[in-house]
Amino acid sequence: MKNKVQERLNELLVEKGITAYKLSKDLNISKSVLHYWLTGKTAPNCDYLINLAIYFEVTADYILGLEDETGAKYVNSFNNTVVNASENSTIKF
């Protein structure tokens, strides 16, 4: 089962037409570290997460799976709510 970070990074590479090799060179990370992120063995730390967000021109929340591509949804796992900012509504589950 894929985790959100793994899923989003793989999607972003495809969407932007960037190879894993190019990403590793551009961000100055080893191919093995990137491989671990792309296969879900590890996740990027905060510094790398920021660099990835800037590189792909998305938010860190998007990479983490806390919002969709429009930025409208935020999942709050502490009190089991989903806030849809575009509709200004909260749904309990």
CA distance 48 to 26: 12
pLDDT per position as a tens digit, 8-51: 999 999 999 999 999 999 999 999 999 999 999 999 999 999 99
CATH level 2 (architecture), domain 4-92: Orthogonal Bundle (1.10)
Residues 31-49: b if buried by 16+ CB within 10 A, e if exposed:
eeebeebbebeebbeeebb
Give 7's Cβ-side CA count (13 Å radius).
9
Q: How far apart are the first and last CA of the chain?
A: 23
Tokens coding 22: 């190019």
The answer to whether residues 37 and 83 touch, using CB atoms and an 8 Å cutoff, is no
Whether the pLDDT of residue 92 is over 80: the answer is no
* pTM higher than the cut 0.85: no
Question: Quick one: what percent of the chain has pLDDT higher than 70?
Answer: 75
Instruction: Please say if the pLDDT value at position 91 is more than 50.
Output: no
pLDDT band at 87 (very low <50, low <70, confident <90, very high): low
